[in-house]
Amino acid sequence: MKYQNVAEELNEVIGYIKSDSLTDDQKEKMTAQTVEYFDQYVSPGWLKYRKSVSTNSAVIEWTDHDSMCEGLYGEEFIDCLGGFGIYTCGHRNPEILDTVKAQLDHQALHSQELLDPLRGYLAKAVAGITPGSLEKCFFTNGGAEAVEMALKLARIATGGRWYISTVGAFHGKSMGAISMGGKNTYRVPYLPMIQQVQHVEYGNAEDAEKAIRNLTAVGEKVAAMIVEPIQGEAGVLVPPAGYLKRLREICDQYGVALIFDEIQCGMGRTGTFFRCEAEDVVPDILTFGKAFGGGIMPITGIICTPEMWVDELVENPWLLGSPTFGGNPVCCAAALATIKYMIDHDVPGQCAAKGEILKAGLEKLAEKYPTVIDDVRGLGLMLAVEFVTSDVGYCVAKGMFARGVLTAGTLVNAKCIRFEPAAVITEEEIAQVLERLDGALADAKKEFSL
């Protein structure tokens, strides 16, 4: 009887999914149940965390397209949150979606034994869009998993056991990835974690060199240094010119693998396919994700130089990892279509051009509201506005939400708000975002008497 009740409830839910339109009664019921089930079965804290339920009525997302998210009742939001970088190609991009649907018509997942062709095609394509001699690919499901594989690969390839990371870094929340993280809020509940990790100042190559030199001097071997070419979660921090190149020289000098985490800043978002290209630096291992699945399917991964794929991995190909769903056909189809779309439509170029327009508008607003905004920074469509306090930033974010624009804070506060819209956003929509932000800033200035 219990199972039958579940089946009956699911029959109704599947009906919602298959329906072209919902009645007002269905929408009302779905809204109430979503809030109730999040509170009881998902996480009560999630309701307090989201702006969408910070007012009297919740907004239930149900449809999306291009640069827009839409609620169950037709509420429209220009998406400047972008799923933290997922929707570079837009929401439900038709070219990518059509490819995924075609793949689903003949196969979704792989047998785990036979050779699945799309994984090979995708690996070759990734080698074609990444710089230098990066060649060997390993596909995973989420960003933290990709980072885990990169960390493991560095140990296998170098024989080292220590890692160098940076203060403010964000590499995911699995145990290895969060051990590399540079924010105490995420780390403290899980201490002690991986112990052989040393954090250095971001943007300061001499700090990194000193840490590696001192560890080497006392007989410890460093496996890798992991760094974001632009720190995302820390507040879209762009390091000084020459920083990445100097890290490359230091790692070469001491036999340390250099890992660039481009899960957020890669795949065109900052104006080149990968940020390290703009600095003319090639890492030993590169992680990618977020927009890699085209905003349609979840897929991430790593690519490394041939030298990193040592004989131990050739003899034991399962040693690095064997995620059940890693590199599955339907996700590979999405990634293949994404890469083609990005090349055909020059998505990196669009991000660079539209990013200049958006950033210039944000800078004008910073001049207009100097007591509200502290800083505007970033590259391409990976931008951030820093406010005088977190409370002011949250007020602005809520004001933007009320005006139909989604934004996101960083480091679990709103002092710094990210703007990461899709590359398909129009100049007209950018103008609307700036106009609505102007109104939200005026409200915050008045509320806090700034």
Portions of the chain given CATH number 3.40.640.10: 95-344
Q: How many CA atoms lie within 13 A of 365 on its CB side?
A: 28
Portions of the chain given CATH number 3.90.1150.10: 20-92+347-447
Work out the number of other CB atoms within 10 angstroms of the CB of residue 101: 12
Contact call for residues 420 and 381 (beta carbons, < 8 A): yes
* Averaged pLDDT, 118-146: 97
Categorize the per-residue pLDDT at 291 as very low, low, confident or very high, splitting at 50, 70 and 90: very high
The identity of residue 295, as a single letter, is G
- Residue entry with tokens 């506005």: 385
Contact call for residues 144 and 177 (beta carbons, < 8 A): yes
Contact call for residues 421 and 69 (beta carbons, < 8 A): no
Nearest to 203 by CA among 385, 417, 377, 84: 377
Those residues with Cβ within 8 angstroms of residue 168's Cβ, 6 or more apart along the chain or in another chain: 182, 183, 202, 231, 233, 234, 235, 237, 411
* CA–CA dist 224, 427 (Å, integer): 42
- DSSP, collapsed to helix, strand or coil, labels residue 328 as coil
Contact call for residues 9 and 1 (beta carbons, < 8 A): no
Joined tokens for residue 278: 């703009």
Distances (CA, A) of 408 to 130, 385, 395: 29, 10, 12
Categorize the per-residue pLDDT at 417 as very low, low, confident or very high, splitting at 50, 70 and 90: very high
* CA–CA dist 399, 442 (Å, integer): 10
Categorize the per-residue pLDDT at 243 as very low, low, confident or very high, splitting at 50, 70 and 90: very high
Distances (CA, A) of 192 to 164, 298, 330: 17, 30, 38
Categorize the per-residue pLDDT at 46 as very low, low, confident or very high, splitting at 50, 70 and 90: confident
* Averaged pLDDT, 286-311: 98
Is 44 exposed, middle or buried (CB count within 10 Å of its CB: 0-12, 13-18, 19+)?
exposed
Averaged pLDDT of the chain: 94
Q: Which of 9-23, 186-200, 276-290, 318-332 has the lowest mean pLDDT?
A: 186-200
Contact call for residues 377 and 417 (beta carbons, < 8 A): no
Residue 382 pairs in a beta bridge with: 379
* CA–CA dist 140, 146 (Å, integer): 6
* CA–CA dist 166, 146 (Å, integer): 18
Is 268 exposed, middle or buried (CB count within 10 Å of its CB: 0-12, 13-18, 19+)?
buried
Contact call for residues 352 and 387 (beta carbons, < 8 A): no
Categorize the per-residue pLDDT at 182 as very low, low, confident or very high, splitting at 50, 70 and 90: confident
CATH for the 95-344 domain, from 3.40.50.1440, 3.40.640.10, 3.40.1190.20, 2.40.50.1070:
3.40.640.10
- DSSP, collapsed to helix, strand or coil, labels residue 71 as strand
Residue 284 reports pLDDT greater than 90: yes
Contact call for residues 247 and 276 (beta carbons, < 8 A): no
* CA–CA dist 332, 318 (Å, integer): 20
Residue 172 reports pLDDT greater than 80: yes
Q: Which of 63-72, 156-165, 169-178, 316-325 has the lowest mean pLDDT?
A: 169-178
Contact call for residues 160 and 256 (beta carbons, < 8 A): yes
For 171, list phi and psi in degrees, rounded to 5: -130, 10
Joined tokens for residue 265: 């800043």
Instruction: Give the pLDDT confidence score for residue 270 in this predicted structure.
Output: 97
Nearest to 223 by CA among 245, 195, 199, 251: 251
In sign, the C-alpha dihedral spanning 403, 407, 92, 33 is negative
* Averaged pLDDT, 144-152: 97
20-92+347-447 maps to CATH 3.60.10.10: no
For 383, list phi and psi in degrees, rounded to 5: -120, 160
* % of the chain exceeding 90 in pLDDT: 85
Joined tokens for residue 15: 């009906």
Instruction: Give the pLDDT confidence score for residue 184 in this predicted structure.
Output: 79
Work out the number of other CB atoms within 10 angstroms of the CB of residue 429: 21
Residue 309 reports pLDDT greater than 90: yes
* CA–CA dist 168, 232 (Å, integer): 9
Nearest to 121 by CA among 337, 343, 346, 348: 337
Categorize the per-residue pLDDT at 181 as very low, low, confident or very high, splitting at 50, 70 and 90: confident
Pairing of the two strands 197-200 and 382-387: unpaired
* Averaged pLDDT, 60-86: 94
- C-alpha torsion 319→323→328→332, nearest 10: -80
* Averaged pLDDT, 167-176: 89
